[in-house]
């Protein structure tokens, strides 16, 4: 029912499949009022809508019409329709006259595509006792709904809503319990009060604790989120669906939505965008209109900006610039910036979903960028890499650094025990923002060259880097720090100053490809892959390494765009022989062994295990349960997703090992 097409951090572009058509996610579902609807939302970009089954149920005429003609005809929409259950009315009025079972039955009767059980939206910041009490009812109703749907062979898909107020552990518990059910979608509920009161930081805690415990193969819906200002952030946290009554509620109130916030018509001198409404009318024109005409035009503007933002979010996921978009959006309000800073606490989780290579470069847009998962990943990797005796720290040059650093390197300060440098036993690294230290042998690998930051450093970045280095140099006997590094960053970490202008970084292609292999596949991969009589072939045009052979047999290719290695059959064998199970492996069940060996791509449902370090787009080995190498290829899902998905491809096989 749900497939992932592209990913960036926890954000995903997906396809939600329904009987009434497919929907590209992240998607916005405009809220349709079953009686008062004045705007044809399809015309402005809606592929899916949401309406309220309880409101229909409570109105005798609507109820009869919905039963007779079906929901789609009732609201005149031929695409997929989701219905809500009356829970929101429950949270506002304290009571509804419908039972959980009745609302499930009714939603099936009127032929909704996706129905919802009668969850209890527990408000934020209530007592723990209240949150726990409500949660048990929500869970019990979710179980009842699924059991009832299954026992009656109902056709509709079902939402199971995550509740738990603002208690992170209750959100996790709820998500865990709901994951055990056979629900089709997982909304995250009771977040409207958080958004209305600008508690975006708490929203981050609620969403991250929920999604981290929900299955990856089901769409998640951030219930009641309809302001385009938060779409990018919510999508980056793994939300796939949004619903908006905001477009019409704000319009009723003469307020115009924008990714920069909300504009009151009374304050507008200029129209805020280039949609059909903003280009045709001035604020004075709108103010002069009668209420209904004005409301509809503002609602149309609101829909335009909302759908435009979702297109931008999806494009950002495709190109790998979602976090840059989030960083931009979160600067429109200090509480959003606070939320983004809170997200830094979840970057270990984000890292697990984030592909290692992207089409677009990493842009540093401020000190918050230092906490992004790419930076964290590199710093963790750096701590695992094999170390030489001494370290030379160089100032940044143009990128790739290894190409532009040359000649005499100048004056150095020494930290640690002073001794002659043995160039064979020395690591060379460039100090730069945001990646801290970048070893010159791997500096072409994404994103270590594919990033940009301002030359003028901010104090947070300097402190961040200083803290990292002072910890990192402890691994080395002696560290020589270039005088310009000291000057630029005011690093206080040295004993004395010496003339060391004989130091030179000597490029060595074999050492470089081994270092890249270690960085990519794990320590030891370089020695295993590139042993023997290695010959390196470079591009005549760019001078970059392209093919790596051992006695005429190709072992690996180096991808020009990101400098990652792509294995050949021989390379796959070498990696398999040298790295212990389950490293770099996707393990398939017995049934799919012949298919994999034959070079067929691996479907997610056949995957029984895999290396937890696999990320989408990684080069991986495909093995049987007794670790026979069957094939090799490119992962399309990360390790967590491989465990959760039962449909779609998991690995795009490059080649089977069949002779
Ligand atoms: N609409 C907005 N919030 C909620 C919620 O928590 N539950 C349901 N069912 N609908 C909502
Ligand atoms: Zn507009």
Q: Is 638 annotated as a binding residue?
A: no
How does pLDDT run across 112-167, given as a tens digit for each residue?
999 999 999 999 999 999 999 999 999 999 999 999 999 999 999 999 999 999 99
**What topology does CATH give the domain 508-578?**
Nuclear Transport Factor 2; Chain: A, (3.10.450)
Does the CB atom of residue 134 touch ligand 1 within 6 A?
no
Does the CB atom of residue 116 touch ligand 1 within 6 A?
yes
Does the CB atom of residue 449 touch ligand 1 within 6 A?
no
Does the CB atom of residue 121 touch ligand 1 within 6 A?
yes
pLDDT recorded at residue 197: 96
The residue ranking higher by pLDDT, 223 or 658, is 223
Q: Residue 389 pLDDT > 90, yes or no?
A: yes
User: Considering 84, 243, 432, 562, which one is annotated as catalytic?
Assistant: 84
| Distance between Cα 224 and ligand 1 center (Å) | 7
Mean pLDDT of all residues in 19-41: 95
Q: Is 278 annotated as a binding residue?
A: yes
The structure tokens listed for 298 are: 């503002």
Mean pLDDT of all residues in 491-505: 73
**What topology does CATH give the domain 580-659?**
2.30.130
Q: Residue 658 pLDDT > 90, yes or no?
A: no
Q: What percent of the chain has pLDDT over 90?
A: 88
| Distance between Cα 83 and ligand 2 center (Å) | 29
Q: How confident is the model at residue 484 (pLDDT cuts 50, 70, 90)?
A: confident
| Distance between Cα 308 and ligand 2 center (Å) | 10
Q: Please, are residues 619 and 517 in contact by the beta-carbon 8 Å criterion?
A: no
User: Residue 304: CB partners within 8 Å, gap ≥ 6?
Assistant: 44, 45, 273, 275, 276, 277
Q: Residue 355 pLDDT > 80, yes or no?
A: yes
| Distance between Cα 355 and ligand 1 center (Å) | 32
User: Residue 527: CB partners within 8 Å, gap ≥ 6?
Assistant: 514, 578
Does the CB atom of residue 183 touch ligand 1 within 6 A?
no
* Sign of torsion over alpha carbons 337, 339, 342, 343: negative
Nearest ligand, measured from the Cα of 119: 1
State the span(s) of the chain assigned CATH 2.30.130.10.
580-659
State the span(s) of the chain assigned CATH 3.10.450.90.
508-578
Q: Residue 408 pLDDT > 90, yes or no?
A: no
| Distance between Cα 223 and ligand 1 center (Å) | 6
pLDDT recorded at residue 519: 97
Residue 501 designated active-site: no
Mean pLDDT of all residues in 192-197: 96
pLDDT recorded at residue 71: 97
Q: For the chain, how many residues are written?
A: 659
* Residue 30, beta-bridge partner list: 244
Mean pLDDT of all residues in 374-402: 94
Mean pLDDT of all residues in 512-535: 97
Mean pLDDT of all residues in 576-590: 97
How does pLDDT run across 430-461, given as a tens digit for each residue?
999 999 999 999 999 999 999 999 999 899 99
Peptide bond into 368 cis (omega under 30): no
Place of tokens 């532009």: 404
The structure tokens listed for 573 are: 């064998």
Q: Is 518 annotated as a binding residue?
A: no
Nearest ligand, measured from the Cα of 210: 1
Q: Is 275 annotated as a binding residue?
A: yes
CA–CA distance, 551 with 566 (Å, rounded to integer): 18
Q: Whose CA is nearest to atom 6 of ligand 1?
A: 189
Mutation test of ligand 1: which of 88, 142, 162, 163 has the most ligand atoms closer than 8 Å to its C-beta? 88
CA–CA distance, 101 with 519 (Å, rounded to integer): 55
How does pLDDT run across 604-620, given as a tens digit for each residue?
999 999 999 999 999 99
State the span(s) of the chain assigned CATH 3.20.20.105.
2-247+333-349
The ligand 1 atom nearest the CA atom of 159: 9
pLDDT recorded at residue 638: 96
Query: How confident is the prediction for the chain on average, in pLDDT?
Result: 95
Q: Residue 644 pLDDT > 80, yes or no?
A: yes
- Helix (H) or strand (E) holding 335, with range, is helix 334-343
The ligand 1 atom nearest the CA atom of 188: 6
pLDDT recorded at residue 500: 67
How does pLDDT run across 549-581, given as a tens digit for each residue?
999 999 999 999 999 999 999 999 999 999 999
| Distance between Cα 232 and ligand 2 center (Å) | 19
The residue ranking higher by pLDDT, 410 or 325, is 325
Global pTM value: 0.96
Nearest ligand, measured from the Cα of 263: 2
Q: Residue 407 pLDDT > 70, yes or no?
A: no
The ligand 1 atom nearest the CA atom of 117: 9
Q: Is 174 annotated as a binding residue?
A: no
| Distance between Cα 304 and ligand 2 center (Å) | 7
Mean pLDDT check: name the lowest of 194-203, 364-373, 638-647.
638-647
Mean pLDDT of all residues in 531-558: 96
Mean pLDDT of all residues in 518-539: 97
DSSP 366: S
Q: Whose CA is nearest to atom 8 of ligand 1?
A: 87
Mean pLDDT of all residues in 365-378: 97
Does the CB atom of residue 84 touch ligand 1 within 6 A?
yes
Q: Residue 659 pLDDT > 90, yes or no?
A: no
Mutation test of ligand 1: which of 175, 192, 249 has the most ligand atoms closer than 8 Å to its C-beta? 192
Mean pLDDT of all residues in 304-315: 98
Tell me which CATH code domain 2-247+333-349 carries.
3.20.20.105
Torsion of CA 454, 459, 461, 463, to 10 degrees: 150
Nearest ligand, measured from the Cα of 299: 2
DSSP 45-95: T-SSEEEEHHHHHHSHHHHHHHHHH-HHHHTT--S-EEEE-SHHHHHHHS-
């Amino acid at each position: 029912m749900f497939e992932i097409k592209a990913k960036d951090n926890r954000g995903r572009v997906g396809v939600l499949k329904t009987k009434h058509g497919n929907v590209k996610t992240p998607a916005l579902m405009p809220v349709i009022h079953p009686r008062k609807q004045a705007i044809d939302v399809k015309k402005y970009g809606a592929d899916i809508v949401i309406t309220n089954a309880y409101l229909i149920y409570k109105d005798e005429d609507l109820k009869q019409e919905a039963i007779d003609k079906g929901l789609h005809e009732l609201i005149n929409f031929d695409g997929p329709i989701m219905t809500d259950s009356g829970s929101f009315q429950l949270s506002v009025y304290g009571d509804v006259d419908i039972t959980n079972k009745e609302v499930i039955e009714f939603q099936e009767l009127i032929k909704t595509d996706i129905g919802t059980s009668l969850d209890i939206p527990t408000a934020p910041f209530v007592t723990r006792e209240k949150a726990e009490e409500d949660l048990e009812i929500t869970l019990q109703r979710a179980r009842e709904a699924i059991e009832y749907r299954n026992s009656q062979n109902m056709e509709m898909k079902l939402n199971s809503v995550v509740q738990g107020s603002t208690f992170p552990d209750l959100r996790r518990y709820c998500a865990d319990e709901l994951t055990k059910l056979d629900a089709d979608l997982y909304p995250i509920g009771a977040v409207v009060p958080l958004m209305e009161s600008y508690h975006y930081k708490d929203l981050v805690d609620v969403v991250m604790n929920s999604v981290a415990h929900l299955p990856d193969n089901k769409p998640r819906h951030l219930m009641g989120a309809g302001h385009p200002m938060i779409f990018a952030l919510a999508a980056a946290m793994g939300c796939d669906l949004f619903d908006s009554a905001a477009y019409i509620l704000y319009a009723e109130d003469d307020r115009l939505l924008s990714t920069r916030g909300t504009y009151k018509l009374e304050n507008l001198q200029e129209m805020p965008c280039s949609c059909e409404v903003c280009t045709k009318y001035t604020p004075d024109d709108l103010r002069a209109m009668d209420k209904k005409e004005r409301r509809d035009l503002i609602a149309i503007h609101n829909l335009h900006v909302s759908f435009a933002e979702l297109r931008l979010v999806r494009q950002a996921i495709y190109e790998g610039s979602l976090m840059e978009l989030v960083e931009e959006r979160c600067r429109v309000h200090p509480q959003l910036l606070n939320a983004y800073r809170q997200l830094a606490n979840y970057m270990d989780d984000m890292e697990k979903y984030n592909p290692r290579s992207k089409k677009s470069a990493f842009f540093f847009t401020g000190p918050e960028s230092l906490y992004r998962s790419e930076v964290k990943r590199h710093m963790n990797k750096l701590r695992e890499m094999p170390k030489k005796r001494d370290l030379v720290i160089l100032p940044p040059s143009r990128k790739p650094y290894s190409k532009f650093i040359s000649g005499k390197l100048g004056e150095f300060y020494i930290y640690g025990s002073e001794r002659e440098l043995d160039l064979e036993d020395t690591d060379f690294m460039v100090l730069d923002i945001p990646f801290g230290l970048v070893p010159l042998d791997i500096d072409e690998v994404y994103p270590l060259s594919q990033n940009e930051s301002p030359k003028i450093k901010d104090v947070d970045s300097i402190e961040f880097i200083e803290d990292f280095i002072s910890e990192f140099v402890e691994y080395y006997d002696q560290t020589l720090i270039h005088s310009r590094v000291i000057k630029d960053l005011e690093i206080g970490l040295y004993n004395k100053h010496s003339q060391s202008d004989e130091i030179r970084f000597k490029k060595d292609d074999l050492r470089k490809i081994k270092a890249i292999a270690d960085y990519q596949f794990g320590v030891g991969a370089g020695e295993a892959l590139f042993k023997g009589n290695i010959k390196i072939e470079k591009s005549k045009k760019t001078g970059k390494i392209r093919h790596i052979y051992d006695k005429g047999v190709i072992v690996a290719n180096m991808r020009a765009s990101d400098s990652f290695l792509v294995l050949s059959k021989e390379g796959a064998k070498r990696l398999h022989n040298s790295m212990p199970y389950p490293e770099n492996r996707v393990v398939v069940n017995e049934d799919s062994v012949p298919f994999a060996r034959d070079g067929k791509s691996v479907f997610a449902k056949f995957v029984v295990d895999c290396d937890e370090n696999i990320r989408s787009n990684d080069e991986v080995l495909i093995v049987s349960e007794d670790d026979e190498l069957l094939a090799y290829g490119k992962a399309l899902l990360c390790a967590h997703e491989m465990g959760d998905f039962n449909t779609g491809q998991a690995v795009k096989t490059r080649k089977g090992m069949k002779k």
